[in-house]
Chain A
Amino acid sequence: MGRIKEIAKGARSLIGSMGVTLKHLKDEPVTVEYPAERAPISPLQRNAIRLIEKEETPGSHNCIACLQCEKICPSNCISITGYRPEGLAMKRPETFDLNFALCSECGLCLDVCPTATLGYTKVYDKAGYTRADFFHDLLEEYRETEEQVVEHLREADRRKKAEREAKRKAEAEAKAKEAGDAQ
């Protein structure tokens, strides 16, 4: 008798579970056939870092090689060397390398960047055979235009300097005039 009861109980729970499964048969699939189609990624998704291109001057970035990101990185995956081009107030990066194999995507480098030049790339499924495949040269796309950009910046600096000097001259003249008036 007990056995029959147990079988009945088992059958009831089985039917209950099967009911749930049957209910889901008509559902839309929730999976995405990955290589053929891709699920949308979050706009904030963290990934390998990149230098953001300046909008007003294409082909240039704002990095000033201050090494803040290199200093804060917990995994030491960023290495930068900077140089100061002739007649320029700010430094420029000569090399900007990222070892993505070490990166833990904490985003601390983005937080400290004073010029907000760092951003994330959107490539999330890069695989490689050697460690060298994960070395990113962030300046790669900017190398060709670098000379032009430096020239442009130099010009801007020169203009700024001239403006500053003109202003100072004007102020000095105004002062001298004031002093003359007082006399």
Chain B
Amino acid sequence: MAELIQIASDEDRDTFYLNMGPQHPSTHGVLRLRLHLKGERILSAEPIIGYSHRAHEKMAENRNYIQFLPNPSRVDYLSGMIYSIGYCQAIEKAIGLEVPERAEYIRVICNELNRISSHLLWFGTFLLDLGGVTPFLYCFDDREKILDLLDLVSGSRLTYCYGRFGGLVNDVTDDFLEGTARFCTAFRERLREYDRLVTQNVIFRNRTIGVGVMRPELAQQFGITGPCLRAMGMARDVRRDEPYGIYDRFEFDIPTRTASDCFDRYLVRIAEMEQSMRIVEQALAKLPDGPIMAKKIPRKIAPAKGEYYFAVESARGHFGMFIVSDGSEIPYRIHLRTPSFANLSTMRTVLPGTLLADTVSILGSIDIVLPEIDR
């Protein structure tokens, strides 16, 4: 028996394993990180996922295209509008359905509002992880206003099912348009405040500048997208590279930074909120009158036999839907390419060598949503 028990060497005795999660407030869901530590230094880190797997892709194989409508927004509950409308756009492209102008504009407004709300929640919880409670309360105040606005048009606050093939469920009201315009002016002021409150804060700067640097080659190896990629200095954005919907009609910049540390990822997201507001304001100014549903919607939604790929820019990066159709009303397979999964995979490379205390800020800065990783 004695031989079977391996006696740890002196070196092994200094190191130990630490489980971070699955129930840890800074993992934003149920992520478990298996950390191999020597003192406070991380030797190796392994994200273990799958705790909130709900089989969305499998569900798609058991129902028709219309019945899958409520699912995409549940994949990523923080940018549910983008996912829900993205799925509609994917199917519309597959069956060749034209969407009325007004619906397209409303879709853009809702998408960008949703992007701001998602970034706001990230911003608040990221600072909460770092120990700053005050900004969190302001963020949630602003986010609440967006949720109320989206509630006005879609009837739900978080998991929207607002898009339909060929248009939208409800038309926007004057309340919504006025509220959105009001929000945009108020939010500009708020952003300046956040800058004073957070960006200039010494503790925040010390904890993020130079922490969690991602080397640019990681982007290619793991397929990093979204704000994490743009913080590396690469101006890639699906809205600009492969414009979907009517995004090619709007003027907006793609904010980039070069240092690729936590602080840069923070700045990119803040700049993105400003750009989103620019898009919202342009869309509000140009919003045309007209119907919100296409006139002729086929009773049977059945794309021709083949494979379709459609991508949208979610708040976290490149969200792609790969749809395989066998010509029937029920999809043969829908694969969802989610950005958080690729971004989280880098943790195995990025975390080793850093301090345990920095794990929280690195993990927070890539903005993961666990249900989106597990699907």
A14 CA to B67 CA in the complex, in Å?
Answer: 53
Q: Do A74 and B68 contact each other (CB < 8 Å), given the known contacts A45-B155, A46-B156, A107-B155?
A: yes
Q: Do A46 and B201 contact each other (CB < 8 Å), given the known contacts A72-B67, A74-B70, A105-B161?
A: no
Determine whether B254 belongs to the interface, using a CB cutoff of 8 Å to chain A: no
Count of B interface residues, CB-CB < 8 Å: 31
Q: In the complex, which residue of chain B has the Cβ closest to the Cβ of A39?
A: B148
| A residues in contact with B141, CB < 8 Å | 30
B155 contacts A46, CB within 8 Å? yes
A19 CA to B152 CA in the complex, in Å?
Answer: 34
Determine whether B169 belongs to the interface, using a CB cutoff of 8 Å to chain A: yes
Determine whether B307 belongs to the interface, using a CB cutoff of 8 Å to chain A: no
A17 contacts B70, CB within 8 Å? no
B144 contacts A30, CB within 8 Å? yes
A10 CA to B169 CA in the complex, in Å?
Answer: 52
Q: How many A-B residue contacts, CB cutoff 8 Å?
A: 75
A44 contacts B152, CB within 8 Å? yes
A107 CA to B154 CA in the complex, in Å?
Answer: 10
Q: B234-249: which have CB < 8 Å to A?
A: none
Determine whether B209 belongs to the interface, using a CB cutoff of 8 Å to chain A: no
A104 CA to B72 CA in the complex, in Å?
Answer: 12
A20 contacts B196, CB within 8 Å? yes
Determine whether A114 belongs to the interface, using a CB cutoff of 8 Å to chain B: no
Q: A1-53: which have CB < 8 Å to B?
A: 6, 9-10, 13-14, 16-17, 19-21, 23-24, 30, 41-46
B66 contacts A72, CB within 8 Å? yes
User: What is the distance, in angstroms, from A98's C-beta to the closest C-beta of chain B?
Assistant: 16
User: What is the distance, in angstroms, from A74's C-beta to the closest C-beta of chain B?
Assistant: 4
Determine whether A111 belongs to the interface, using a CB cutoff of 8 Å to chain B: yes
Residues of A within 8 A of B (CB): 6, 9-10, 13-14, 16-17, 19-21, 23-24, 30, 41-46, 72-74, 104-108, 111, 120
14 contacts between A and B (CB under 8 A): A6-B202, A13-B203, A17-B134, A17-B201, A20-B196, A42-B148, A42-B151, A44-B151, A46-B156, A74-B63, A74-B68, A108-B69, A111-B164, A111-B169
Q: Which 10 A-B pairs have the closest CB atoms?
A: A106-B70, A74-B67, A44-B155, A46-B155, A106-B161, A42-B151, A13-B202, A104-B70, A20-B197, A10-B202
